[in-house]
Structure 1
Amino acid sequence: MALRIITDTSCDLPDSELGKYSIEMIPLKVTFDNGETFLDRFELGPANFVKKMKLAKILPKTSAPDPNIFIEYFEKGLKDVGEVLFVSLSSGLSSTYQTAQLACNMLGSEKVKIFDTLTASLGTGIMAIKAARMAAQGLSTDRIMERLNQMRASREVIFTLDTLENVVKGGRLSRIEGLAGTLLHIKPILRGNDQGVPEVIEKVKGRKKAMHRLVSMLGEVAGSSVKDKLIGISHVNCERDAIHLSEEIKDRYNPANEIIISEMSATIGTYAGEGGLMINI
Protein backbone atom coordinates (compact mmCIF):
# COMPACT_ATOMS: atom_id res chain seq x y z
CA MET A 1 0.00 0.00 0.00
CA ALA A 2 1.43 3.37 -1.04
CA LEU A 3 1.27 6.68 0.83
CA ARG A 4 0.17 10.07 -0.55
CA ILE A 5 2.00 13.01 1.02
CA ILE A 6 -0.05 16.20 1.10
CA THR A 7 0.92 19.56 2.58
CA ASP A 8 -0.45 23.12 2.36
CA THR A 9 0.69 26.08 0.30
CA SER A 10 2.56 27.61 3.22
CA CYS A 11 5.26 24.96 2.62
CA ASP A 12 6.86 27.22 -0.02
CA LEU A 13 8.36 24.25 -1.86
CA PRO A 14 9.33 25.04 -5.46
CA ASP A 15 7.27 23.26 -8.11
CA SER A 16 10.36 21.21 -9.01
CA GLU A 17 10.54 19.73 -5.51
CA LEU A 18 6.80 19.08 -5.39
CA GLY A 19 7.01 17.21 -8.68
CA LYS A 20 10.15 15.31 -7.73
CA TYR A 21 8.50 13.82 -4.65
CA SER A 22 4.88 13.77 -5.92
CA ILE A 23 3.78 15.99 -3.03
CA GLU A 24 0.36 17.60 -3.33
CA MET A 25 -0.65 20.97 -1.87
CA ILE A 26 -3.93 22.20 -0.44
CA PRO A 27 -4.29 25.98 -0.92
CA LEU A 28 -4.80 28.36 1.96
CA LYS A 29 -6.74 31.56 1.29
CA VAL A 30 -5.62 35.18 1.41
CA THR A 31 -8.06 38.10 1.62
CA PHE A 32 -7.19 41.76 0.98
CA ASP A 33 -8.78 44.86 2.50
CA ASN A 34 -10.90 45.40 -0.64
CA GLY A 35 -12.55 42.02 -0.10
CA GLU A 36 -10.68 40.17 -2.84
CA THR A 37 -9.94 36.57 -1.85
CA PHE A 38 -7.47 34.28 -3.62
CA LEU A 39 -6.25 30.72 -3.27
CA ASP A 40 -2.60 30.98 -2.25
CA ARG A 41 -0.28 29.97 -5.14
CA PHE A 42 -3.18 28.50 -7.13
CA GLU A 43 -4.67 31.90 -7.99
CA LEU A 44 -2.08 34.30 -6.59
CA GLY A 45 1.64 33.72 -7.09
CA PRO A 46 4.33 35.26 -4.85
CA ALA A 47 5.22 38.09 -7.27
CA ASN A 48 1.66 39.33 -7.70
CA PHE A 49 1.05 38.89 -3.99
CA VAL A 50 3.92 41.27 -3.16
CA LYS A 51 2.50 43.90 -5.53
CA LYS A 52 -0.95 43.69 -3.94
CA MET A 53 0.44 43.60 -0.40
CA LYS A 54 2.42 46.81 -0.93
CA LEU A 55 -0.75 48.62 -2.05
CA ALA A 56 -2.87 47.36 0.86
CA LYS A 57 -3.38 49.70 3.82
CA ILE A 58 -4.36 46.79 6.05
CA LEU A 59 -2.41 43.56 6.31
CA PRO A 60 -3.99 40.82 4.15
CA LYS A 61 -5.66 38.05 6.14
CA THR A 62 -4.90 34.39 5.57
CA SER A 63 -7.23 31.54 6.43
CA ALA A 64 -7.34 27.76 6.41
CA PRO A 65 -9.29 25.83 3.77
CA ASP A 66 -12.80 24.58 4.48
CA PRO A 67 -12.90 21.05 6.02
CA ASN A 68 -14.67 19.82 2.89
CA ILE A 69 -11.63 20.77 0.80
CA PHE A 70 -9.43 18.62 3.03
CA ILE A 71 -11.92 15.75 2.76
CA GLU A 72 -11.85 16.04 -1.03
CA TYR A 73 -8.05 15.74 -1.13
CA PHE A 74 -7.99 12.98 1.48
CA GLU A 75 -10.62 10.90 -0.33
CA LYS A 76 -8.75 11.23 -3.60
CA GLY A 77 -5.51 10.13 -1.94
CA LEU A 78 -7.21 7.13 -0.35
CA LYS A 79 -8.71 6.16 -3.70
CA ASP A 80 -5.45 6.62 -5.61
CA VAL A 81 -2.92 5.01 -3.28
CA GLY A 82 -4.61 3.80 -0.07
CA GLU A 83 -3.10 6.02 2.66
CA VAL A 84 -2.66 9.75 3.24
CA LEU A 85 -0.32 11.82 5.41
CA PHE A 86 -1.03 15.54 5.69
CA VAL A 87 2.02 17.59 6.75
CA SER A 88 0.68 20.83 8.20
CA LEU A 89 1.76 24.38 8.90
CA SER A 90 2.36 25.04 12.62
CA SER A 91 -0.76 24.94 14.78
CA GLY A 92 0.74 27.93 16.59
CA LEU A 93 0.36 30.09 13.47
CA SER A 94 -2.81 28.90 11.78
CA SER A 95 -5.97 26.86 12.23
CA THR A 96 -4.90 24.69 9.28
CA TYR A 97 -3.82 21.76 11.48
CA GLN A 98 -7.00 21.85 13.57
CA THR A 99 -9.19 22.05 10.45
CA ALA A 100 -7.34 19.15 8.85
CA GLN A 101 -7.81 17.13 12.04
CA LEU A 102 -11.52 17.96 12.02
CA ALA A 103 -11.79 16.81 8.40
CA CYS A 104 -9.97 13.61 9.28
CA ASN A 105 -12.43 12.93 12.11
CA MET A 106 -15.36 13.67 9.82
CA LEU A 107 -13.98 11.26 7.24
CA GLY A 108 -13.53 8.59 9.89
CA SER A 109 -10.62 6.79 8.20
CA GLU A 110 -7.64 5.38 10.10
CA LYS A 111 -5.69 5.57 6.85
CA VAL A 112 -5.42 9.37 7.08
CA LYS A 113 -2.84 10.87 9.44
CA ILE A 114 -2.28 14.55 10.30
CA PHE A 115 1.14 15.86 11.38
CA ASP A 116 1.74 19.26 12.97
CA THR A 117 5.22 20.44 11.95
CA LEU A 118 5.27 23.32 14.49
CA THR A 119 7.15 25.30 11.87
CA ALA A 120 6.42 27.19 8.65
CA SER A 121 7.51 27.88 5.09
CA LEU A 122 10.32 25.55 4.00
CA GLY A 123 10.39 24.06 7.50
CA THR A 124 7.05 22.46 6.67
CA GLY A 125 8.26 21.74 3.13
CA ILE A 126 11.40 19.98 4.32
CA MET A 127 9.37 17.69 6.57
CA ALA A 128 7.08 16.88 3.65
CA ILE A 129 10.14 15.96 1.56
CA LYS A 130 11.51 13.76 4.33
CA ALA A 131 8.14 12.04 4.71
CA ALA A 132 8.06 11.39 0.95
CA ARG A 133 11.59 9.98 1.02
CA MET A 134 10.71 7.62 3.86
CA ALA A 135 7.54 6.52 2.07
CA ALA A 136 9.63 5.74 -1.02
CA GLN A 137 11.86 3.57 1.17
CA GLY A 138 8.82 1.56 2.19
CA LEU A 139 8.48 2.71 5.81
CA SER A 140 5.05 2.36 7.36
CA THR A 141 2.98 5.47 8.04
CA ASP A 142 3.28 4.93 11.79
CA ARG A 143 7.07 4.67 11.52
CA ILE A 144 7.17 7.83 9.38
CA MET A 145 5.11 9.66 12.01
CA GLU A 146 7.56 8.52 14.72
CA ARG A 147 10.54 9.79 12.77
CA LEU A 148 8.83 13.08 11.95
CA ASN A 149 8.23 13.60 15.66
CA GLN A 150 11.94 13.08 16.28
CA MET A 151 12.84 15.50 13.48
CA ARG A 152 10.40 18.08 14.80
CA ALA A 153 12.23 18.11 18.12
CA SER A 154 15.40 19.31 16.39
CA ARG A 155 13.85 21.62 13.80
CA GLU A 156 15.01 25.24 13.69
CA VAL A 157 13.67 28.35 12.00
CA ILE A 158 15.47 31.69 12.15
CA PHE A 159 14.68 34.75 10.09
CA THR A 160 14.97 38.49 9.75
CA LEU A 161 12.59 41.21 8.60
CA ASP A 162 13.81 43.98 6.34
CA THR A 163 10.78 46.18 6.93
CA LEU A 164 8.63 46.70 10.01
CA GLU A 165 5.70 47.87 7.89
CA ASN A 166 3.82 44.58 8.05
CA VAL A 167 4.16 44.10 11.80
CA VAL A 168 2.83 47.65 12.20
CA LYS A 169 -0.08 46.92 9.83
CA GLY A 170 -0.75 43.71 11.71
CA GLY A 171 -0.96 45.54 15.04
CA ARG A 172 2.07 43.83 16.58
CA LEU A 173 4.04 47.08 16.73
CA SER A 174 2.91 50.68 17.15
CA ARG A 175 3.51 53.16 14.32
CA ILE A 176 5.86 55.16 16.55
CA GLU A 177 7.92 52.06 17.37
CA GLY A 178 7.90 51.09 13.70
CA LEU A 179 9.05 54.54 12.61
CA ALA A 180 11.81 54.56 15.21
CA GLY A 181 12.99 51.12 14.14
CA THR A 182 12.98 52.16 10.49
CA LEU A 183 14.92 55.38 11.11
CA LEU A 184 17.52 53.48 13.14
CA HIS A 185 17.72 50.67 10.53
CA ILE A 186 16.88 48.10 13.20
CA LYS A 187 16.43 44.56 11.85
CA PRO A 188 14.87 42.01 14.22
CA ILE A 189 16.11 38.42 14.31
CA LEU A 190 13.38 35.90 15.13
CA ARG A 191 13.41 32.23 16.07
CA GLY A 192 10.57 29.73 16.27
CA ASN A 193 9.80 28.54 19.80
CA ASP A 194 8.64 25.12 21.02
CA GLN A 195 5.01 26.00 20.22
CA GLY A 196 5.88 26.87 16.63
CA VAL A 197 5.50 30.62 17.18
CA PRO A 198 8.25 33.12 16.19
CA GLU A 199 9.83 35.28 18.88
CA VAL A 200 12.21 38.21 18.54
CA ILE A 201 15.49 37.14 20.11
CA GLU A 202 17.86 39.84 18.88
CA LYS A 203 17.88 43.21 17.15
CA VAL A 204 20.76 44.27 14.95
CA LYS A 205 21.46 47.43 12.98
CA GLY A 206 21.52 47.08 9.22
CA ARG A 207 20.62 44.45 6.64
CA LYS A 208 24.15 43.10 6.13
CA LYS A 209 24.65 42.55 9.85
CA ALA A 210 21.29 40.79 10.06
CA MET A 211 22.24 38.41 7.26
CA HIS A 212 25.65 37.69 8.77
CA ARG A 213 23.98 37.05 12.11
CA LEU A 214 21.61 34.52 10.54
CA VAL A 215 24.57 32.58 9.17
CA SER A 216 26.44 32.50 12.47
CA MET A 217 23.25 31.72 14.41
CA LEU A 218 22.59 28.71 12.16
CA GLY A 219 25.72 27.07 13.56
CA GLU A 220 24.83 28.08 17.10
CA VAL A 221 21.36 26.51 17.03
CA ALA A 222 22.26 23.42 14.99
CA GLY A 223 25.79 22.72 16.17
CA SER A 224 27.99 20.36 14.16
CA SER A 225 24.90 18.69 12.67
CA VAL A 226 24.28 21.67 10.37
CA LYS A 227 26.49 20.06 7.71
CA ASP A 228 24.13 17.11 7.36
CA LYS A 229 20.88 19.07 7.52
CA LEU A 230 18.56 19.77 4.60
CA ILE A 231 18.54 23.58 4.57
CA GLY A 232 15.84 25.79 3.10
CA ILE A 233 15.99 29.53 2.50
CA SER A 234 12.77 31.34 1.65
CA HIS A 235 12.39 35.01 0.86
CA VAL A 236 9.90 37.74 -0.02
CA ASN A 237 11.00 39.37 -3.27
CA CYS A 238 14.73 39.36 -2.42
CA GLU A 239 16.17 36.42 -4.33
CA ARG A 240 19.61 38.00 -4.64
CA ASP A 241 19.92 38.21 -0.85
CA ALA A 242 18.69 34.62 -0.50
CA ILE A 243 21.35 33.41 -2.94
CA HIS A 244 24.01 35.44 -1.13
CA LEU A 245 22.88 33.90 2.16
CA SER A 246 23.13 30.40 0.70
CA GLU A 247 26.66 31.08 -0.55
CA GLU A 248 27.73 32.24 2.91
CA ILE A 249 26.24 29.11 4.43
CA LYS A 250 28.05 26.91 1.90
CA ASP A 251 31.38 28.66 2.54
CA ARG A 252 31.05 28.39 6.29
CA TYR A 253 29.44 24.98 6.82
CA ASN A 254 29.94 23.03 3.55
CA PRO A 255 26.51 21.35 3.77
CA ALA A 256 26.18 17.88 2.27
CA ASN A 257 22.78 18.64 0.71
CA GLU A 258 21.84 21.20 -1.92
CA ILE A 259 20.20 24.24 -0.30
CA ILE A 260 16.58 24.81 -1.36
CA ILE A 261 15.80 28.44 -2.22
CA SER A 262 12.24 29.59 -2.82
CA GLU A 263 9.86 32.53 -2.67
CA MET A 264 7.51 32.80 0.27
CA SER A 265 3.88 32.48 -0.68
CA ALA A 266 1.15 34.76 0.63
CA THR A 267 0.54 32.71 3.77
CA ILE A 268 3.92 33.42 5.37
CA GLY A 269 4.94 36.40 3.23
CA THR A 270 2.03 38.37 4.67
CA TYR A 271 3.76 38.49 8.03
CA ALA A 272 7.38 38.56 6.89
CA GLY A 273 6.90 41.50 4.53
CA GLU A 274 9.02 42.41 1.53
CA GLY A 275 12.67 41.56 2.17
CA GLY A 276 11.86 38.84 4.69
CA LEU A 277 14.54 36.13 4.81
CA MET A 278 14.03 32.79 6.54
CA ILE A 279 16.32 29.80 7.15
CA ASN A 280 14.74 26.46 7.98
CA ILE A 281 16.42 23.17 8.86
Structure 2
Amino acid sequence: MSYKVIVDSCGELTPDMKKAGNIFTASLTLNVGGHLVVDDETFDQADFLVRVARCSECPKSSCPSPEAYMKAFEGEEERVYVVTLSAELSGSYNSAVLGKNLFLEEHGQKDIYIFNSRSASVGETLITKKIMECEERGLGFQEVVNAVETYIDGQNTYFVLESLETLRKNGRLTGLKALAASVLNIKPVMGATKQGVIIQHGQARGINKALAKMVDRVSEEIVSPEKKTLGIAHCNCPARAEMVREMLLKKLPLGDIIVLDTRGVSSMYANDGGIIIAV
Protein backbone atom coordinates (compact mmCIF):
# COMPACT_ATOMS: atom_id res chain seq x y z
CA MET A 1 0.00 0.00 0.00
CA SER A 2 1.46 3.39 -0.97
CA TYR A 3 0.94 6.41 1.24
CA LYS A 4 1.95 10.02 1.67
CA VAL A 5 1.94 12.49 4.53
CA ILE A 6 1.17 16.18 4.10
CA VAL A 7 2.48 18.33 6.94
CA ASP A 8 1.55 21.98 7.16
CA SER A 9 4.65 24.15 7.27
CA CYS A 10 4.43 24.80 10.99
CA GLY A 11 5.85 21.28 11.33
CA GLU A 12 9.60 20.83 10.98
CA LEU A 13 10.88 18.00 8.75
CA THR A 14 13.86 15.80 9.63
CA PRO A 15 16.51 15.09 6.95
CA ASP A 16 15.08 11.56 6.58
CA MET A 17 11.59 12.95 6.01
CA LYS A 18 12.92 15.30 3.33
CA LYS A 19 14.60 12.38 1.58
CA ALA A 20 11.67 9.95 1.91
CA GLY A 21 9.86 11.11 -1.22
CA ASN A 22 6.39 10.77 0.28
CA ILE A 23 6.42 13.55 2.90
CA PHE A 24 5.10 16.85 1.53
CA THR A 25 4.56 20.35 2.86
CA ALA A 26 1.38 22.42 2.75
CA SER A 27 2.83 25.92 2.97
CA LEU A 28 1.44 28.71 5.07
CA THR A 29 2.13 32.30 3.97
CA LEU A 30 3.78 34.84 6.27
CA ASN A 31 3.16 38.57 6.08
CA VAL A 32 5.80 40.95 7.45
CA GLY A 33 4.66 44.53 6.93
CA GLY A 34 3.14 43.70 3.55
CA HIS A 35 6.09 41.55 2.42
CA LEU A 36 4.76 38.04 1.74
CA VAL A 37 6.91 35.00 2.46
CA VAL A 38 5.84 31.52 1.36
CA ASP A 39 6.89 29.02 4.00
CA ASP A 40 8.42 26.40 1.70
CA GLU A 41 11.93 25.17 0.88
CA THR A 42 12.87 28.74 -0.16
CA PHE A 43 12.29 30.10 3.37
CA ASP A 44 15.30 32.11 4.54
CA GLN A 45 15.19 32.27 8.34
CA ALA A 46 18.00 34.84 8.71
CA ASP A 47 16.35 37.26 6.26
CA PHE A 48 12.95 36.69 7.83
CA LEU A 49 14.15 37.42 11.38
CA VAL A 50 15.84 40.63 10.20
CA ARG A 51 12.61 41.74 8.48
CA VAL A 52 10.58 40.99 11.63
CA ALA A 53 13.05 42.92 13.82
CA ARG A 54 12.90 45.95 11.51
CA CYS A 55 9.12 45.95 11.03
CA SER A 56 6.91 47.94 13.40
CA GLU A 57 3.90 45.76 12.55
CA CYS A 58 3.38 42.31 14.04
CA PRO A 59 3.92 39.51 11.48
CA LYS A 60 0.91 37.40 10.56
CA SER A 61 0.35 34.03 8.93
CA SER A 62 -2.35 32.64 6.66
CA CYS A 63 -3.09 28.94 6.32
CA PRO A 64 -3.13 26.89 3.10
CA SER A 65 -6.41 27.16 1.19
CA PRO A 66 -8.83 24.22 0.92
CA GLU A 67 -7.97 24.15 -2.80
CA ALA A 68 -4.25 23.78 -1.98
CA TYR A 69 -5.02 20.82 0.26
CA MET A 70 -7.38 19.38 -2.34
CA LYS A 71 -4.59 19.46 -4.93
CA ALA A 72 -2.19 17.85 -2.44
CA PHE A 73 -4.53 14.87 -2.11
CA GLU A 74 -4.11 14.04 -5.79
CA GLY A 75 -1.68 11.33 -6.86
CA GLU A 76 -1.32 7.56 -7.02
CA GLU A 77 -0.95 7.05 -3.26
CA GLU A 78 -3.81 5.01 -1.81
CA ARG A 79 -3.58 6.52 1.66
CA VAL A 80 -3.12 10.17 2.56
CA TYR A 81 -2.45 11.50 6.04
CA VAL A 82 -2.38 15.19 6.94
CA VAL A 83 -0.79 16.70 10.06
CA THR A 84 -1.79 20.27 10.94
CA LEU A 85 -0.95 22.60 13.77
CA SER A 86 -3.50 22.84 16.56
CA ALA A 87 -6.99 23.72 15.36
CA GLU A 88 -7.14 26.09 18.36
CA LEU A 89 -4.27 28.14 16.89
CA SER A 90 -4.85 28.10 13.13
CA GLY A 91 -7.40 27.50 10.40
CA SER A 92 -5.09 24.93 8.78
CA TYR A 93 -7.01 21.93 10.19
CA ASN A 94 -10.39 23.22 9.05
CA SER A 95 -8.95 24.12 5.65
CA ALA A 96 -7.62 20.57 5.26
CA VAL A 97 -11.01 19.09 6.20
CA LEU A 98 -12.73 21.31 3.63
CA GLY A 99 -10.11 20.30 1.05
CA LYS A 100 -10.79 16.63 1.79
CA ASN A 101 -14.53 17.10 1.34
CA LEU A 102 -13.99 18.91 -1.97
CA PHE A 103 -11.63 16.17 -3.18
CA LEU A 104 -14.02 13.35 -2.30
CA GLU A 105 -16.92 15.12 -4.01
CA GLU A 106 -14.91 15.51 -7.19
CA HIS A 107 -12.85 12.32 -7.28
CA GLY A 108 -14.76 9.78 -5.19
CA GLN A 109 -13.51 7.58 -2.36
CA LYS A 110 -9.93 7.70 -1.11
CA ASP A 111 -8.45 7.01 2.33
CA ILE A 112 -7.64 10.47 3.69
CA TYR A 113 -7.30 11.37 7.36
CA ILE A 114 -6.61 14.78 8.88
CA PHE A 115 -4.74 14.77 12.21
CA ASN A 116 -5.24 17.81 14.43
CA SER A 117 -1.84 17.71 16.14
CA ARG A 118 -3.12 19.79 19.07
CA SER A 119 0.49 20.92 19.02
CA ALA A 120 2.81 22.71 16.58
CA SER A 121 6.37 22.71 15.29
CA VAL A 122 8.31 19.63 16.41
CA GLY A 123 5.11 18.15 17.85
CA GLU A 124 3.94 17.75 14.25
CA THR A 125 7.33 16.24 13.38
CA LEU A 126 6.92 13.49 15.97
CA ILE A 127 3.38 12.75 14.78
CA THR A 128 4.66 12.42 11.21
CA LYS A 129 7.38 10.08 12.47
CA LYS A 130 4.71 7.97 14.20
CA ILE A 131 2.66 7.71 10.99
CA MET A 132 5.75 6.53 9.08
CA GLU A 133 6.55 3.93 11.76
CA CYS A 134 2.98 2.58 11.71
CA GLU A 135 2.98 2.33 7.92
CA GLU A 136 6.35 0.56 7.95
CA ARG A 137 4.91 -1.98 10.38
CA GLY A 138 2.22 -2.77 7.82
CA LEU A 139 -0.78 -1.58 9.83
CA GLY A 140 -4.11 -1.06 8.09
CA PHE A 141 -5.34 2.48 7.43
CA GLN A 142 -7.72 2.60 10.40
CA GLU A 143 -5.10 0.96 12.62
CA VAL A 144 -2.64 3.72 11.71
CA VAL A 145 -5.27 6.36 12.46
CA ASN A 146 -6.11 4.83 15.84
CA ALA A 147 -2.45 4.38 16.85
CA VAL A 148 -1.53 7.93 15.90
CA GLU A 149 -4.58 9.47 17.60
CA THR A 150 -3.61 7.56 20.77
CA TYR A 151 -0.08 8.92 20.40
CA ILE A 152 -1.42 12.49 20.05
CA ASP A 153 -3.52 12.00 23.21
CA GLY A 154 -0.32 11.22 25.12
CA GLN A 155 1.87 13.94 23.63
CA ASN A 156 2.88 17.10 25.51
CA THR A 157 4.30 20.36 24.17
CA TYR A 158 6.32 22.96 26.09
CA PHE A 159 8.09 26.17 25.12
CA VAL A 160 10.12 29.09 26.42
CA LEU A 161 10.44 32.18 24.22
CA GLU A 162 12.39 35.42 24.46
CA SER A 163 9.12 37.21 23.72
CA LEU A 164 5.45 36.24 23.62
CA GLU A 165 4.43 39.41 21.76
CA THR A 166 3.76 37.78 18.39
CA LEU A 167 1.53 35.16 20.02
CA ARG A 168 -0.24 37.79 22.09
CA LYS A 169 -0.81 40.27 19.25
CA ASN A 170 -2.15 37.51 17.00
CA GLY A 171 -4.67 36.47 19.64
CA ARG A 172 -3.08 33.12 20.50
CA LEU A 173 -2.90 33.78 24.26
CA THR A 174 -6.60 34.45 24.89
CA GLY A 175 -7.78 33.39 28.32
CA LEU A 176 -4.34 33.67 29.91
CA LYS A 177 -3.93 35.92 32.93
CA ALA A 178 -1.61 38.89 32.45
CA LEU A 179 1.92 37.72 31.85
CA ALA A 180 4.84 39.05 33.89
CA ALA A 181 6.44 42.29 32.82
CA SER A 182 9.36 41.85 30.44
CA VAL A 183 11.28 44.65 32.17
CA LEU A 184 11.92 42.21 35.03
CA ASN A 185 13.36 39.68 32.53
CA ILE A 186 10.69 37.21 33.62
CA LYS A 187 10.35 34.39 31.10
CA PRO A 188 7.15 32.31 31.26
CA VAL A 189 7.30 28.53 30.84
CA MET A 190 4.48 27.71 28.46
CA GLY A 191 2.73 24.58 27.26
CA ALA A 192 -0.45 23.30 25.68
CA THR A 193 -3.57 21.63 26.99
CA LYS A 194 -4.73 18.29 25.58
CA GLN A 195 -7.04 20.34 23.33
CA GLY A 196 -4.10 22.35 21.94
CA VAL A 197 -4.76 25.62 23.79
CA ILE A 198 -1.69 27.53 25.05
CA ILE A 199 -1.30 27.65 28.84
CA GLN A 200 1.34 28.89 31.28
CA HIS A 201 3.09 26.36 33.52
CA GLY A 202 5.33 28.73 35.46
CA GLN A 203 7.98 31.40 35.09
CA ALA A 204 11.54 32.25 36.03
CA ARG A 205 13.87 35.22 35.92
CA GLY A 206 16.12 34.88 32.90
CA ILE A 207 15.96 32.54 29.93
CA ASN A 208 18.32 29.87 31.30
CA LYS A 209 16.35 29.47 34.54
CA ALA A 210 13.12 29.28 32.54
CA LEU A 211 14.63 26.57 30.31
CA ALA A 212 15.73 24.62 33.40
CA LYS A 213 12.22 24.92 34.81
CA MET A 214 10.79 23.65 31.51
CA VAL A 215 13.14 20.65 31.62
CA ASP A 216 11.99 19.95 35.20
CA ARG A 217 8.37 20.05 34.01
CA VAL A 218 9.11 17.62 31.18
CA SER A 219 10.86 15.30 33.65
CA GLU A 220 7.88 15.36 36.02
CA GLU A 221 5.26 14.64 33.36
CA ILE A 222 6.96 12.18 31.02
CA VAL A 223 6.00 8.49 31.23
CA SER A 224 8.41 5.70 30.15
CA PRO A 225 11.08 8.09 28.79
CA GLU A 226 13.25 5.21 27.58
CA LYS A 227 10.54 4.40 25.03
CA LYS A 228 10.04 7.99 23.87
CA THR A 229 11.46 10.14 21.11
CA LEU A 230 11.67 13.74 22.28
CA GLY A 231 11.82 16.66 19.85
CA ILE A 232 13.49 20.03 20.35
CA ALA A 233 12.95 22.87 17.89
CA HIS A 234 14.96 26.07 18.18
CA CYS A 235 14.71 29.39 16.40
CA ASN A 236 18.25 30.37 15.40
CA CYS A 237 19.85 29.20 18.68
CA PRO A 238 21.57 25.80 18.20
CA ALA A 239 23.81 26.25 21.27
CA ARG A 240 20.78 26.87 23.48
CA ALA A 241 19.05 23.80 22.02
CA GLU A 242 22.14 21.72 22.75
CA MET A 243 22.18 22.99 26.34
CA VAL A 244 18.54 21.92 26.74
CA ARG A 245 19.32 18.52 25.20
CA GLU A 246 22.14 17.98 27.71
CA MET A 247 19.90 19.03 30.62
CA LEU A 248 17.27 16.53 29.51
CA LEU A 249 19.78 13.68 29.13
CA LYS A 250 21.08 14.30 32.66
CA LYS A 251 17.56 13.80 34.01
CA LEU A 252 16.00 11.25 31.65
CA PRO A 253 17.00 7.98 29.92
CA LEU A 254 15.38 9.08 26.65
CA GLY A 255 15.14 6.71 23.71
CA ASP A 256 16.05 9.41 21.19
CA ILE A 257 16.21 13.19 20.82
CA ILE A 258 15.58 15.02 17.55
CA VAL A 259 16.87 18.62 17.32
CA LEU A 260 15.64 20.81 14.45
CA ASP A 261 15.72 24.48 13.46
CA THR A 262 12.31 26.11 13.05
CA ARG A 263 10.71 26.69 9.67
CA GLY A 264 8.81 29.87 8.86
CA VAL A 265 5.62 29.67 10.93
CA SER A 266 7.42 28.40 14.02
CA SER A 267 10.12 31.05 13.54
CA MET A 268 7.41 33.72 13.40
CA TYR A 269 5.81 32.67 16.67
CA ALA A 270 8.88 31.43 18.55
CA ASN A 271 10.91 34.53 17.61
CA ASP A 272 14.70 34.63 17.66
CA GLY A 273 15.98 32.43 20.50
CA GLY A 274 12.82 30.43 21.20
CA ILE A 275 12.89 26.76 22.28
CA ILE A 276 10.06 24.26 21.82
CA ILE A 277 9.92 20.73 23.25
CA ALA A 278 7.46 17.98 22.29
CA VAL A 279 7.37 14.46 23.65
Q: TM-score w.r.t. structure 2 length?
A: 0.90
Cα gap change, 1:21 to 1:242, in 2 (>3 Å)? farther
State the alpha-carbon separation in 1 of the partners of residues 21 and 74 from structure 2.
20
Cα drift, residue 14 of structure 1: 3.2
User: Is it true that 1:56 corresponds to 2:52 in the alignment?
Assistant: no
Cα drift, residue 106 of structure 1: 0.5
Question: Deviation string for 1:95-117 (max 9, x for gaps)?
Answer: 11100000100111332221111
Match of 2:195 in 1: 195
Question: Deviation string for 1:78-106 (max 9, x for gaps)?
Answer: x2x22211122111111111000001001
Question: Deviation string for 1:125-178 (max 9, x for gaps)?
Answer: 1001110111111111111110111111111001111234435654769xxx88
Question: Deviation string for 1:225-268 (max 9, x for gaps)?
Answer: 223211110111111100110111112212122x1111122212
What SS does the aligned partner of 1:118 have?
Answer: coil
> Pairwise mapping of residues 230-245 of structure 1 onto structure 2 (< 5 A)?
230-245=229-244
Cα gap change, 1:102 to 1:250, in 2 (>3 Å)? same
CA contact (8 A) 2:235 2:275 kept: yes
CA contact (8 A) 1:157 1:191 kept: yes
Match of 2:260 in 1: 262
Q: Provide structure 1 residue ranges, at least 5 long, that are not aligned to the other structure.
A: none
State the alpha-carbon separation in 1 of the partners of residues 144 and 241 from structure 2.
31
Residue identity matched to 2:98:
L
Match of 2:85 in 1: 89
User: Is it true that 1:253 corresponds to 2:249 in the alignment?
Assistant: no
Match of 2:147 in 1: 147
Residue identity matched to 2:250:
D
What SS does the aligned partner of 1:11 have?
Answer: coil
Cα gap change, 1:164 to 1:53, in 2 (>3 Å)? same
Residue identity matched to 2:231:
G
Residue identity matched to 2:200:
V
State the alpha-carbon separation in 2 of the partners of residues 21 and 210 from structure 1.
38
Cα gap change, 1:94 to 1:165, in 2 (>3 Å)? closer
- Report the aligned-residue RMSD: 2.0
Question: Deviation string for 1:57-85 (max 9, x for gaps)?
Answer: 12211111122211111112xx2x22211
Aligned length: 271
User: Is it true that 1:99 corresponds to 2:95 in the alignment?
Assistant: yes
> Pairwise mapping of residues 1-281 of structure 1 onto structure 2 (< 5 A)?
1-20=1-20, 22-33=22-33, 35-76=34-75, 79=76, 81-108=77-104, 109-167=109-167, 169-170=169-170, 181-223=181-223, 225-257=224-256, 259-281=257-279
Cα drift, residue 118 of structure 1: 0.8
Cα drift, residue 275 of structure 1: 1.4
State the alpha-carbon separation in 2 of the partners of residues 149 and 115 from structure 1.
8
What SS does the aligned partner of 1:216 have?
Answer: helix
What SS does the aligned partner of 1:196 have?
Answer: coil
Percentage of identical aligned residues: 26
Residue identity matched to 2:278:
N
CA contact (8 A) 2:26 2:69 kept: yes
Q: Provide structure 2 residue ranges, at least 5 long, that are not aligned to the other structure.
A: none
State the alpha-carbon separation in 1 of the partners of residues 134 and 44 from structure 2.
30
More helix by share: 1
Higher mean alpha-carbon deviation, 39-48 vs 193-202, is at 39-48
What SS does the aligned partner of 1:188 have?
Answer: strand
Cα gap change, 1:201 to 1:43, in 2 (>3 Å)? same
What SS does the aligned partner of 2:259 have?
Answer: strand
Cα gap change, 1:16 to 1:53, in 2 (>3 Å)? farther
What SS does the aligned partner of 1:99 have?
Answer: helix
State the alpha-carbon separation in 1 of the partners of residues 170 and 31 from structure 2.
14
